[in-house]
Every structure is written in C-alpha cells, then in structure tokens.
Amino acid sequence: MSPRRPTTKGFARSSTLLQERIRKVSESRGFAESRLLTQWAETVGEDVAAIARPVKVGYGRGGIGATLTLLTTGAQAPMLEMQKEQLRAKVNGVYGYNAISRITITQTAPTGFADGQVSFQHRTPKPAPRVPDPESVAEARRIAAPVADDGLRAALETLAQNVLSRSKR
C-alpha cells in the first residue's frame, strides 16, 4: 500500500501559521487565554465590545487574582465602572475559574500613550439621516423668502427647518 498523499499540496491554514505568534503576543500582555482577545465581543457582548477592549492582564506577587485592564474612552468609563462585576463574571467564564479578581479601566494603554489612541467610533453605526417634513420645508421657505442674499436665505431656511422639526417632536 502506498503512503497517503497530502491533500493540502504544501498549503497550511492561516490559523495554524499564526497560532504561535498570537499566543506569544497575547502572553506578553498577560493573556494566558488568547480566546479572551480573539472572542472579546462574544465574551462580553457587542455593546461592551463597542466601547472597550482588553489591553493587559497583570498578576500580583502571589500569582492568584489577576487584574484585567480595559481601554475605553472617557465618556464610557462610568458605564463600564458600573458593569465591572458582570464583566468579571463573563471573563472568568472564559478561563473556567476565578482568574480575574479585579478590573481596572483606563483611558490610555498601560504601556504608553501611543497604544491608547484607539477610537471605538468605527464599531457603532451612525443613525440614519432624518427626512425633513414637507410641511416644515415649505414653512421654512416661506419664512426665509423675503431675504435677498442667497447664502443667508439658505442658512435661514435650514435654521427654520431645524426649529420647526424640533417643535413638532
């Protein structure tokens, strides 16, 4: 019987090629379980993943009870502060035991300011633009009609549309 021929023809999955590098990088930041990094959104939920990301796991002298550091923007920090215990429970679920005893929140990365320059805006969808009410548009044109300057009239129409649409809400 002839030896089995490889079916990959010299190719390997990208996950197997990168697995060792991902493990080394994640361990350098204290993440013994890289799944916490790669599946962050599934672990904590899309709403938290949109405003925060894990940057470091620090271990105390005894080695028991690590501290997870989360990076977020200033406006989101109070919301995360109130959710610390729920987040800690979800993260410890990934480890399978109480590996994380504390969660700290930072607005800059613990290794320096360059790592902390992260914008979480790309993950949140922008609201759809409002379609102006035809009545408001007609009323705004009527109000701004006596103005002779085209630029000023357009600006006044826009202002009138905004005021009229707010008063209808």
- ∠ CA 110-113-116, nearest 5°, is 70
Statement to judge: residues 46 and 76 lie in one domain: yes
pTM: 0.49
Statement to judge: residues 55 and 138 lie in one domain: no
What's the rounded Cα separation, in Å, for the pair 90 and 95? 9
Chain CA centroid to CA 99, Å = 24
Query: Residue 65 pLDDT > 50, yes or no?
Result: yes
Statement to judge: residues 105 and 164 lie in one domain: no
Statement to judge: residues 24 and 57 lie in one domain: yes
Radius of gyration of the chain (CA): 27
Q: What is the mean pLDDT of residues 70-81?
A: 87
> Does 57 fall in a domain?
yes
Statement to judge: residues 118 and 139 lie in one domain: no
* Residue 77 φ then ψ, to 5°: -60, -45
pLDDT at 66: 82
pLDDT band per the 50, 70, 90 thresholds, residue 20: low
Q: What does the block give as tokens for 36?
A: 């916490």
Domain that holds residue 80: 14-122
Q: What does the block give as tokens for 26?
A: 């994640």
> Does 80 fall in a domain?
yes
